[in-house]
Amino acid sequence: MSVPADGTTNPGYARTPRTTPTRYKDRATWEQEAIHAILDSTYLCHLGFVADGAPVVLPTIYARVGSRLYIHGSTGSRPLRGARGDQGLPVCVTVTLVDALVLTKSAFNHSINFRSVVAHGTAHQVTDPEELGIALDALVDQTVPGRSAEVRPANAKELAATAVIRLDLDEVSAKTREDGANDDPDDLDLPHWAGVIPVTSGFGTPVPAGSTTVPLPAHVRDLTR
């Protein structure tokens, strides 16, 4: 439990030295609800691990199920090798959403409005077929909600070929910036344009494959409208 500045008590993740930022501390939160909301807003993460003493960062997809992340290992088998043993694989999973570019009258004060989550911990490979099935469905539904119920589920052979690692959320924090241009007082009268440029993201018109004989299903329509 963390205690926010307003004195109320919200369920929160543990605060540790490495989830406590050294700068802009007011942008950080450990509150579960805030962290889960960011994690539920996208499906792409960057998975960091150490290989031969050096850092490796790979993009991949994830799904949140409660206080657990399932992370797809198909970007390469390297992370999975480490996660197979009992010791697991120390990882850092980072999720970032950019909301706006913030333009100021000085080069120095330019900024970005964003929401990000950084989770530290030890990941383990999912080997139980039942949990693998749940994880694979969750990965499909994290990208397209409702999709997993309307496709052919994975068979035993596919589950055996699916590489998923599990990270229990414990040492995790979020950072957000949601603000306008913060110019120095001395710069405010400069004849430059300052302001906020929203960054937008969405989906284009779905393009059916040649094999598709059914109309656009609700789960695709809901995602893209």
Residue 10 or 56 having the CB closest to its own copies = 56
Q: Give the phi and the psi of residue 137 in degrees, each rounded to 5.
A: -60, -40
Burial 10-25 (b: 16+ CB within 10 A, else e): eebbeeeeebeeeeee
Contact pick of 7, 8, 26, 59 for its own copies (by CB under 8 A): 59
Contact pick of 5, 66, 86, 211 for its own copies (by CB under 8 A): 211
User: Taking the complex as a whole, how short is the minimal distance between the CB of residue 8 and its own copies, in angstroms?
Assistant: 28
- Find out whether 113 and 195 touch, Cβ atoms under 8 Å: no
CA count, 13 A, side-chain hemisphere, 210? 0
Residue 12 or 92 having the CB closest to its own copies = 92
- Find out whether 93 and 119 touch, Cβ atoms under 8 Å: yes
User: Taking the complex as a whole, how short is the minimal distance between the CB of residue 112 and its own copies, in angstroms?
Assistant: 7
Tokens of 154: 């994975």
Binding of its own copies by 129 (CB under 8 A): no
Binding of its own copies by 181 (CB under 8 A): yes
User: Taking the complex as a whole, how short is the minimal distance between the CB of residue 199 and its own copies, in angstroms?
Assistant: 6
Q: Within a 10 A sphere around the Cβ of 82, how many other Cβ atoms?
A: 20
Rounded Cα–Cα distance for residues 124 and 136 (Å):
15
- Site for its own copies, residues 146 to 165, rule: CB under 8 A: 147-148, 150-155, 158, 161-162
State how far Cα 85 lies from the chain centre. 25
Contact pick of 66, 86, 207, 225 for its own copies (by CB under 8 A): 207
Q: How far is CA 42 from CA 76, 98, 102, 155, 206, in A?
A: 21, 11, 22, 27, 18
Binding of its own copies by 90 (CB under 8 A): yes
| Size of residue set near its own copies by CB under 8 A | 97
Q: Which residue has the tokens 């330019």?
A: 110
Binding of its own copies by 144 (CB under 8 A): yes
Contact pick of 38, 69, 71, 91 for its own copies (by CB under 8 A): 91
Binding of its own copies by 130 (CB under 8 A): no
Residue 65 or 101 having the CB closest to its own copies = 101
Residue 31 or 99 having the CB closest to its own copies = 99
Task: Choose the binding region for its own copies from 4-12, 15-23, 32-40, 62-70 (rule: CB under 8 A).
Answer: 15-23
User: Taking the complex as a whole, how short is the minimal distance between the CB of residue 1 and its own copies, in angstroms?
Assistant: 25
CA dihedral 32, 38, 40, 44 (to 10 degrees): -130
